[in-house]
Amino acid sequence: MDKQILILRGDGIGPEIMDQAIRVLHTIGETFGHSFHLTDGLIGGAAIDEAGTPLPEETIEKAKSSDAVLLGAVGGPKWDQNPSNLRPERGLLGIRKALDLYANLRPVKGFKTLTDASPLKREVIEGSDLLIVRELTGGLYFGRPSERRDNGNVVVDTLHYTKNEMTRIIKKAFESAELRSKKLTSVDKANVLESSKMWREIVETESKNYPDVTVEHVLVDACAMKLITSPKDFDTIVTENMFGDILSDEASVLTGSLGMLPSASLAENGVGLYEPAHGSAPDIAGQNIANPIAMILSAAMMLRHSFNLDAEATAIERAVEQAVNNGYHTKDLQVEGGTCLSTTDMTDQIIKQITKE
């Protein structure tokens, strides 16, 4: 199989973890007989520095003519004081909108040997395995431009959703739940927000089309609490943009580190974008200590969701699990014993497992 992949390294640890995902992809290509053609593009702070904008038009064009996009992370203190149109995060929001990446899938699965890396009790998290389906192109982050009024004394952010935007993500979540344990938790704030009331109505209507999926509604504040007190109660969670953003970072605690969580952002019939759930971690950039696993697992999600290469994706996931179960980990994971490795050495262990299979 021949595939074109746009590589957006971004900022902070983005370039160094991306290099590791590329090494893994080359190994998969050699092992399974595929050719992955990689093209580089600019996004985020790196794009601001080189092209004067966080998302050059050229990057959007390259993305649209690729089969998939792999993204490291964007942002950092260097650009924190920039005006909002020159913030790295604008690049990220912009590419999600330009490619209409409405569905963000974030699997959260703990590894046995990392159970004690979480600050939560072993008996609470052991065996937790869930999928967060987050709406990605609507809601508060994409409302009318935020504004300050009345001499800066009043601020307005707008939460905007269309029925279609809600319906397509809710359908995606039902489809995802059907492939898992057929339990869907819809998270909203229907006791306060009109948007959440409409969300709940759509979930109820759509549930009739998926009779084998059990649905429950949970308010976002209760969900935040239950996610860390009884995570095993959840399987597939669906929610709107901002709630999903917050809950998925919270869920990373179950795995021991943000550095373990991959994500896929999917369009209806277009290019998918794959990136770790974490940010650019400027505090550890350039030290070869970042955890490459979230980035590598994002590449695995790309193989599965964009290229239909399920065996290849599984080979990566198994290799990661095996390397971790062999006691190898990076510095972010606070585990007793085992061997703490650099970014590149951790990847070596994962590659070793792929070539062994």
Ligand X SMILES: NC(=O)c1ccc[n+]([C@@H]2O[C@H](COP(=O)([O-])OP(=O)(O)OC[C@H]3O[C@@H](n4cnc5c(N)ncnc54)[C@H](O)[C@@H]3O)[C@@H](O)[C@H]2O)c1
Strand blocks (E) in the chain: 2-10, 35-41, 68-73, 103-109, 129-135, 147-149, 154-156, 183-188, 214-219, 236-239, 262-266, 272-276, 328-329, 339-340
Which tokens is 181 given? Answer: 């344990």
Tell the smallest beta-carbon distance from residue 218 to ligand X (Å). Answer: 24
Tell the smallest beta-carbon distance from residue 254 to ligand X (Å). Answer: 15
Tell the smallest beta-carbon distance from residue 57 to ligand X (Å). Answer: 20
* From 97, 249, 331, 348, the catalytic residue: 249
Strand blocks (E) in 267-320: 272-276
Q: Which is nearer to ligand X, 5 or 166 (CB)?
A: 5
How far, rounded to the nearest angstrom, does the alpha carbon of residue 267 sit from its chain's CA centroid?
14
Q: Is residue 199 part of an annotated ligand binding site?
A: no
Q: Is residue 104 part of an annotated ligand binding site?
A: no
Residues in the chain: 357
Q: Which is nearer to ligand X, 213 or 273 (CB)?
A: 273
Q: Which of 302, 308, 311, 317 is nearest to 266 (CA)?
A: 302
Which tokens is 340 given? Answer: 């703490």
Q: Which is nearer to ligand X, 285 or 319 (CB)?
A: 285
d(CA 253, CA 228): 8
d(CA 180, CA 236): 8
Q: Is residue 85 part of an annotated ligand binding site?
A: yes
* From 157, 221, 310, 345, the catalytic residue: 221
Tell the smallest beta-carbon distance from residue 130 to ligand X (Å). Answer: 20
Tell the smallest beta-carbon distance from residue 92 to ligand X (Å). Answer: 5
Query: What angle in degrees, to the nearest 10, is found between the helix axes of 194-207 and 163-179?
Result: 50
Tell the smallest beta-carbon distance from residue 39 to ligand X (Å). Answer: 20
Q: Is residue 246 part of an annotated ligand binding site?
A: no
Instruction: Point out which residues bind ligand X (CB under 6 A).
Output: 13, 73-76, 89, 92, 258-259, 275, 278-284, 290-291, 294, 332
* From 245, 274, 328, 332, the catalytic residue: 245
Q: Is residue 249 part of an annotated ligand binding site?
A: yes
d(CA 254, CA 251): 6
Does the annotation count 356 as an active-site position? Answer: no
Q: Which of 104, 218, 100 is nearest to 164 (CA)?
A: 100
Q: Is residue 88 part of an annotated ligand binding site?
A: yes
Does the annotation count 189 as an active-site position? Answer: yes
Which tokens is 3 given? Answer: 């595939």
The dihedral over CA atoms of 90, 95, 98, 104, expressed in degrees to the nearest 10, equals: -110
Q: Which is nearer to ligand X, 196 or 330 (CB)?
A: 330
Q: Which is nearer to ligand X, 251 or 281 (CB)?
A: 281
Does the annotation count 141 as an active-site position? Answer: yes
d(CA 299, CA 316): 9
Fill in the DSSP letter of residue 114. G
Q: Is residue 195 part of an annotated ligand binding site?
A: no
* Contact in structure between 137 and 102 (CB atoms under 8 Å): yes
Q: Which is nearer to ligand X, 42 or 190 (CB)?
A: 42
Return binding residues for substrate. Answer: 96, 106, 134, 221
Return binding residues. Answer: 76-89, 96, 106, 134, 221, 245, 249, 279-291
Return binding residues for NAD(+). Answer: 76-89, 279-291
Catalytically active residues are 141, 189, 221, 245, 249
